[in-house]
Amino acid sequence: MRYSTSSTPSTSSRKSMKRTMMCVTAAVAALTLALSGCGSSSSSGSASSSASGGFVLGALFPQTGSLAYMSPQEEGAVKLALKDINDAGGVLGKKATSVSADTSDADHADQNTSGTQSVLSKKPSAIIGPASSSVVKNVYKEISAAKVPLISMGATSASLSGVDPYFFRTVAPDSVQGAVLGNVIAQDGVQKLAIASFNDDYGTGLRDTIAKTAEAAGVDVVYGKDQAFDPTETNFSSLVSTIKASNPDAIAIIAFDQTKALIKEMISQGIDTTKLYLVDGNTSDYSDTFDKGTLKGVTGTIPGAHATADFQKKVKSMESSVKDYTYAAETYDGVILFALAAQKGGKADGETIQKNLLAVSGANGGTKCKSYKECVALLKDGKDIEYVGQTGIGPFNKNHDPSSANIGVYKFGEDNKPVFDHVQSGKVSTD
């Protein structure tokens, strides 16, 4: 729902006195009415940082579309972060609240916009999400124009580095994940690689880095270096036939939910599906999708440190439908950073939070702290801090990317579930 403000200029001292009395009465009654001459909007105090002075988190989730499988863990992470914040006394002594909306995926631009506008109408202090690079590109200008800082937990396109002063992310750009996966492919002894990538900023950007890195290590990219399929495609018969004809040793798939239909077609055409490489958009639990052993030995990569068992347990306690934890840590850390920035700046408005995000991430140095409670105590003592959260990322750099990042490498077992194998770390370029 949108809220509007109504005002009428005064025409006499008698009318002015009447309006003043109305404002006082409204304040005493704690009513959120748009009274003439009061100078405030008719937003609910629980849903408006400007009305309440409290910290209101806006959250943009992919509750529908090809990324919907990521929404439960992101929602669970938001709930957990807000619980931890409020258990530690809230933000500036007030309870932190949230408003949220569905932004779907890049194929649903209208939902991108309507979800964003719905959250912005509630006047949030800051916004976490969206998870998709293409969706971020569709909405960040409107969010920035409202002077609301935005942290994406999953938008990895390299083109977003430094795109706007109000845009940050707790996930490394594709240049880091692509380089790691390209090297893993080469280290595994792959001679001929095919790449099946969908055509959006995330897909083609990651494809380019993987191909470049693999080729530099001596791998021949026999298909997909310059090709990409439509994200709305549902019939992959022709694509799989073309890939099969290129006679690859292995296939890298860069896609979201389209991965299921693509792999099913590979099975139908007799391709060995144990020789696949997946990325963060599709390294997920397929135990209910394919027969046992279909993906045994497949390698996938996910930016960020592997979520600890304790953190996973806590996220799932917040959202019981969680099946995997992709971007859960990135979501949690983003919310905590917002709250710490408000605490440091002494106000919960977007401009204050934006100005203090670099500092609480540790960009200026400071004492390392691992929880909101611990970090707030240091801030109250007048100390600079470096929040070291669940992700293991370094402080924000000048492009508002993590300065360093971990990439988790996963191996699929007989049950078609990814199991954490090891971490490879990388610095994030600012060039």
pLDDT single digits (tens) 88-107: 999 999 999 999 999 999 88
Whole-angstrom distance, CA of residue 70 vs CA of residue 49: 28
Query: Pairing between strand 97-102 and 126-128?
Result: unpaired
> Percentage of the chain with pLDDT > 90?
76
> Does the pLDDT of residue 200 top 90, yes or no?
no
| 197 close to 224: Cβ distance less than 8 angstroms | yes
| 128 close to 119: Cβ distance less than 8 angstroms | no
Average pLDDT over residues 160-185: 94
Counting Cα atoms < 13 Å in the Cβ hemisphere of 168 gives 32
Angle between helices 372-380 and 71-87 (to 10 degrees): 40
Phi, psi of 161 (to 5 degrees): -65, 120
Short-list 89, 86, 82, CA closest to 128: 82
Give, as one character, the DSSP assignment of residue 336.
H
> For position 22, what pLDDT does the model report?
40
Whole-angstrom distance, CA of residue 120 vs CA of residue 136: 15
> Does the pLDDT of residue 43 top 60, yes or no?
no
Neighbours of 64 (CB within 10 A): 15
| Interior/surface letters 243-274, b for 16+ CB within 10 angstroms, e for the rest | bbeeebbbbbbbbbbbbeebbbbbeeeebebe
> For position 52, what pLDDT does the model report?
58
| Interior/surface letters 81-104, b for 16+ CB within 10 angstroms, e for the rest | bbebbbebbbbbebebbbbbbbbb
Whole-angstrom distance, CA of residue 335 vs CA of residue 152: 10
Q: What is the pLDDT of residues 337-365, one digit of tens each?
A: 999 999 999 999 999 999 999 999 999 99
> For position 27, what pLDDT does the model report?
38
Give, as one character, the DSSP assignment of residue 198.
B
Whole-angstrom distance, CA of residue 36 vs CA of residue 7: 5
Q: What is the pLDDT of residues 393-419, one digit of tens each?
A: 889 999 999 998 889 999 999 999 999
> For position 405, what pLDDT does the model report?
84
CA-to-CA dists, residue 149 to 83, 325, 331, 400, angstroms: 21, 24, 14, 11
Domains and CATH numbers, the chain: 49-172+308-400 (3.40.50.2300), 175-302+406-427 (3.40.50.2300)
Query: Pairing between strand 97-102 and 192-197?
Result: unpaired
| 299 close to 259: Cβ distance less than 8 angstroms | no
Place of tokens 């937990």: 153
- Mean of pLDDT over the chain: 88
Whole-angstrom distance, CA of residue 152 vs CA of residue 157: 11
Whole-angstrom distance, CA of residue 368 vs CA of residue 414: 40
Query: Pairing between strand 299-303 and 404-412?
Result: antiparallel
| The pair of three-digit structure tokens given for residue 112, joined into one six-digit string | 């991108």
Q: What is the pLDDT of residues 249-265, one digit of tens each?
A: 999 999 999 999 999 99
> For position 138, what pLDDT does the model report?
96
Amino acid of residue 124: P
Q: What is the pLDDT of residues 260-297, one digit of tens each?
A: 999 999 999 999 999 999 999 999 999 999 999 999 99
Q: How far is CA 217 from the centre of its chain?
A: 31
Indicate the pLDDT class of residue 305, thresholds 50, 70 and 90: confident
> For position 40, what pLDDT does the model report?
29
> For position 242, what pLDDT does the model report?
98
| 361 close to 337: Cβ distance less than 8 angstroms | yes
Q: What is the pLDDT of residues 221-250, one digit of tens each?
A: 999 999 999 999 999 999 999 999 999 999
> Does the pLDDT of residue 118 top 50, yes or no?
yes
Indicate the pLDDT class of residue 21, thresholds 50, 70 and 90: very low
Q: Using DSSP, state whether 179 is helix, strand or coil.
A: helix
Helix, strand and coil in the chain, % to nearest 5: 40, 15, 45
